[in-house]
Homo-oligomer: A and B are copies of this chain.
Amino acid sequence: MNRSFDEKLALFAKLAVHEGLGLARGQELIVAAELIAAPLVRLIAAEAYRAGAKNVEVLWSDPELTLARFREGSDEAIAYAPNWLIDGVARAHRENAARLAISSTDPGLLARVAPDRVATQSKVQGAARKPVSDLVAGSAINWCVIGAASPAWAARVFPDLPTDRALAKLWDAIFLTSRVEEPDPVAAWVAHSESLEARVTTLEAARFDALHFTGPGTDLSVGLVEGHRWAGGRGRAKNGILCSPNIPTEEVFCMPHRLRVDGVVSSTMPLSVRGQMVDGIRVTFKEGQAVEATARQGEATFRKLLATDEHAGRLGEVALVPHSSKVRQAGVLFLNTLYDENAASHIAFGASYGENLSGYAEMSEAQRVARGANDSIVHVDWMIGSDRIDVDGVAKDGARTPLMRAGEWA
């Protein structure tokens, strides 16, 4: 399609409000975005008001202010989170506000900050934000994450290009993977969602007891919780609204049992953890716990992540993504999990998602844990899929069904 950048941006805003959020008339919308995303935020706000939003409140962030805190802030500042604000946001979501996060993060923003300070601040923020992340992870309200290119992010992705060309190329990749380049982006998004939802139906019916990943540096068994629910594509939030929590999304995902993960697994792509690059991860699991964890780059950051809280070293998600996904086709290493996790099968350390366990909302915390759900203030995906990885579904009686061969659906 021969559309101008402004036309694409407007289509992207519509896609986010209507398909991403499914924003309802009279609903409030909270947007989390960096200052650099202002042009997109303004289009989204206007679209949301046209859709009948009673308020669009933008929680702006600025990487320069984040850096100022790390560079100039006292130890007290590093160990502080504004509960007065976070509690207010949690209240808004309990009062049914929808949530849109726009990711523009420079994946190497905190490269020069001491990992100790980053870990302390992440832990404090994560703990303070838990009421909000629990509402989101529990699908209490309709929510969505999208991306917006920023010069700093684009420069990491295309370090050899001048800034304006890098920025344009990153926007192209965002529009492509979000289906904004399609003749009718909304129709294309719906068709794509339906194909993921069909895959979910097939996997649901199989009632696998575990998934088994094999490939170079990987021989990993991931037990699934009993009563697990596969998810992918759109999901219905508890407030009754159908939303697409990620744009783009290419994954179908399920809940690992917190005690039933065993073997060794190697990462297949680098990732940014808390503003610092981590690559070449290799982890050995025993009864669900990461007992050995190394990384060729960013090992200190990675190990601090796993030590964030008691269960940060256990899995909360396992996801299957074919090697031929639209995100992989874009041919870009985004260094941003929203995108990269949709280019490869992946697992996540930390909190599991309530939608992956039947009856989750009605269970006590103790019941959830007994069933194998994992609770943590972190949720960090990392990619373990490639065109050299096979995945089997394993039934309770040990029978194996080939799910993926050389990274593609079998």
Q: Which A residues fall within an 8 A CB radius of B?
A: 25-26, 28, 35, 38, 41-42, 45-46, 49-50, 52-58, 60, 62, 64-65, 68-69, 71-74, 76-77, 80, 82, 84-85, 87-89, 91-92, 95, 97
**In the complex, how many angstroms separate the beta carbon of A286 from the nearest chain B beta carbon?**
40
- What are 16 inter-chain pairs, A to B, with CB distance below 8 A? A35-B38, A42-B64, A45-B69, A46-B71, A46-B72, A49-B68, A54-B76, A54-B77, A55-B77, A55-B80, A56-B65, A56-B69, A84-B88, A84-B95, A85-B85, A87-B88
**In the complex, how many angstroms separate the beta carbon of A15 from the nearest chain B beta carbon?**
18
Quick one: closest B residue to A85, CB to CB?
A: B88
Q: Is the CB of B68 within 8 A of A46?
A: yes
Q: Is the CB of A85 within 8 A of B69?
A: no
**In the complex with contacts A46-B72, A84-B88, A92-B84, A58-B52 CB distance below 8 A:** no
**In the complex, how many angstroms separate the beta carbon of A374 from the nearest chain B beta carbon?**
30
The distance in angstroms between the C-alpha atoms of A64 and B50, with both chains bound, is 15
Which of these, B42, B57, B95, contacts A68 with CB under 8 Å?
B42
On chain B, the residues within 8 Å of A95 by CB distance are 84
**In the complex, how many angstroms separate the beta carbon of A40 from the nearest chain B beta carbon?**
12
Q: Is the CB of A69 within 8 A of B49?
A: yes
Q: Is the CB of B72 within 8 A of A50?
A: yes
On chain B, the residues within 8 Å of A45 by CB distance are 65, 68-69
On chain B, the residues within 8 Å of A28 by CB distance are 80, 82
**In the complex with contacts A42-B64, A85-B92, A95-B84, A74-B52 CB distance below 8 A:** yes
Quick one: closest B residue to A64, CB to CB?
A: B42
The distance in angstroms between the C-alpha atoms of A46 and B241, with both chains bound, is 42
On chain B, the residues within 8 Å of A73 by CB distance are 49, 53
**In the complex, how many angstroms separate the beta carbon of A234 from the nearest chain B beta carbon?**
26
**In the complex, how many angstroms separate the beta carbon of A252 from the nearest chain B beta carbon?**
35
Q: Is the CB of A42 within 8 A of B56?
A: no
**In the complex, how many angstroms separate the beta carbon of A326 from the nearest chain B beta carbon?**
32
The distance in angstroms between the C-alpha atoms of A357 and B65, with both chains bound, is 39
**In the complex, how many angstroms separate the beta carbon of A184 from the nearest chain B beta carbon?**
24
Quick one: closest B residue to A52, CB to CB?
A: B74
On chain B, the residues within 8 Å of A84 by CB distance are 88-89, 91-92, 95, 97
Q: In the complex, which of the residues A56, A64, A73, A91 has the most CB atoms of chain B within 10 Å of its own CB atom? A: A73
On chain B, the residues within 8 Å of A53 by CB distance are 73, 77
On chain B, the residues within 8 Å of A80 by CB distance are 28, 54-55
The distance in angstroms between the C-alpha atoms of A82 and B88, with both chains bound, is 10
The distance in angstroms between the C-alpha atoms of A64 and B52, with both chains bound, is 18
